């Protein structure tokens, strides 16, 4: 697989996560730490699916654990601060991209039974090729969360 687009998406996300003045979501949504914890959970799950496929098993992907607030809080608590969370996301994104770079066409095309939920609504409940899960991170998931982070910027008086 070619992960240039995914790596670039993570670069933009990590730049957004490093913005100093990130507040809370106006709509009561996730804060920056929760977004980063969610990404860590999703990325680890997809990497585990990829490793399972390489090992010969046929794993499933279910994103509900990455939406669970208890799990997000647990992940956040395991890190000393947002900088530590950002570093972990960076390292894990590198692992996921490096793993994807090594997938052959056969492994990348294995259908993965997938269940995706977003905002309490079912988005997907069907098999998706492993490559589709990984490409979905680059094309949708990471950019959406990058924008979420950018939307958390706090207006600083005197700055535009």
Is 67 within a domain? Answer: yes
**Number of domains the chain contains:** 1
> Which of the 8 DSSP states describes residue 128?
E
Q: CA 114, CA 47: separation in Å to the nearest integer?
A: 14
Domain for residue 158, yes or no? no
Query: What CATH number is attached to the domain comprising 105?
Result: 1.20.120.450
**How much is the pLDDT for 1?**
92
Mean pLDDT for all residues in the chain: 94
Say how many residues make up the chain.
160
pLDDT in tens, 10-31: 999 999 999 998 988 888 899 9
pLDDT value, residue 154: 84
Tell me the average confidence (pLDDT) per consecutive run of 10 residues in the chain, 160 residues long: 97 96 88 98 98 96 97 98 97 97 97 95 97 97 97 66
Whether 157 is covered by a domain: the verdict is no
User: Is 159 part of any domain?
Assistant: no
What percentage of the chain carries pLDDT values higher than 90? 90
In a domain, 160, yes or no: no
94 is in which domain, residue-wise?
A: 4-151
């Amino acid at each position: 697989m070619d992960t240039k687009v995914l790596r670039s998406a993570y670069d933009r996300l990590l730049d957004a996560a490093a913005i100093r003045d990130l507040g809370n979501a106006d709509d009561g949504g996730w804060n920056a730490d929760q977004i980063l914890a969610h990404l860590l959970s999703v990325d680890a799950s997809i990497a585990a699916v990829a490793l399972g496929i390489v090992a010969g098993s046929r794993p499933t992907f279910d994103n509900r654990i990455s939406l669970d607030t208890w799990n997000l809080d647990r992940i956040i608590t395991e890190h000393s601060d947002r900088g530590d969370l950002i570093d972990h996301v960076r390292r894990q994104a590198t692992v996921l991209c490096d793993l994807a770079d090594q997938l052959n066409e056969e492994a990348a095309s294995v259908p993965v039974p997938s269940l995706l939920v977003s905002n309490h609504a079912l988005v997907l409940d069907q098999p998706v090729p492993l490559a589709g899960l990984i490409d979905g991170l680059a094309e949708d998931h990471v950019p959406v969360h990058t924008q979420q982070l950018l939307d958390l910027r706090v207006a600083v008086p005197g700055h535009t």
